Amino acid sequence: MADGGPLVTSLLLLGVAVMRVLAVALLGLASIGCAADRHPSSSGTPAPARTWSATAADVEVVVIADAWRGWPRDLWRVVTPIHVSITNRGDVPLRVARANFALLVDGRRRLAAADPHDVRGVIYEPPPAVWVQTRAGLPPPGYTEWALQPSAPTGSWDPRVGDQFALPTPEMLERALPEGVLEPGRTTSGFLYFERAPAAPARRELTALVVDALSGEPRGTVVVPIESR
């Protein structure tokens, strides 16, 4: 037994060394994984959202371009979704309505904000599994409007074939900018769905008409320049 002491000690030391090497290797793999999360591949990865803001007539409007991350992911093929936040910094209530917003392209073309219920099209991206069923096996509340449309016409904007889903999707409706009265000191936000913008416009501006909810009179216009990449 005494003769085996050094051999046992050597084996134990070798085992410790191997464990240390494995630990370093695993740590390296974890670091690579973290680096991949911080610097994802450009293929299929959404670009960071861009934000602009402007204030006029005691109203601040914040615009986030490229903010849509919902279903469908390629909604930009049908409309131009832009996230808008409106803050009433004045002392009178304001009327928020889609008709008061417009998207000016290259200073010439005016794109109107559409009622999300009027956005029509066909997509081929299945809805997220969490929307398909709940733990009880039933559709969650508010998500019963989307339906498979096997006979829907294929749009020219997407030549793929397969399961077809009609727009608007439940998420489009839920995330739309709500219309109504915005009281002083309050903020409201949501998506506006504009007509599809031309490819690579040189310059865009979002205009928001500020309307007094009590008198119905316009109080001014907020213009938010949106720069292209």
- The structure tokens listed for 19 are 């464990």
For a pLDDT cut of 70, what percent of the chain falls above it?
60
Q: What is the per-residue pLDDT across 86-113, written as a single tens digit (0 to 9) for each?
A: 999 999 999 999 999 999 988 778 999 9
Please say if the pLDDT value at position 156 is more than 50: no
**What pLDDT does 197 receive?**
74
**What pLDDT does 177 receive?**
96
Q: How far is CA 227 from CA 6, 65, 75, 111, 202, in A?
A: 73, 9, 20, 16, 8
* CATH architecture entry for 50-227: Sandwich (2.60)
Residue count of the chain: 229
State the DSSP code for 70.
S
Which pLDDT band holds residue 138 (cuts at 50, 70, 90)? very low
How far apart (Å, rounded) are the C-alpha atoms in residues 166 and 126?
11
Q: Please answer whether residues 133 and 117 qualify as being in contact, where contact means their C-beta atoms are separated by less than 8 angstroms.
A: no
For a pLDDT cut of 90, what percent of the chain falls above it?
41
**What pLDDT does 183 receive?**
96
Q: Is 63 exposed, middle or buried (0-12, 13-18, 19+ CB in 10 A)?
A: buried
Strands (E), the chain: 50-56, 59-65, 79-88, 94-96, 101-105, 109-114, 122-123, 165-166, 180-182, 187-195, 203-211, 218-227
Which pLDDT band holds residue 59 (cuts at 50, 70, 90)? very high
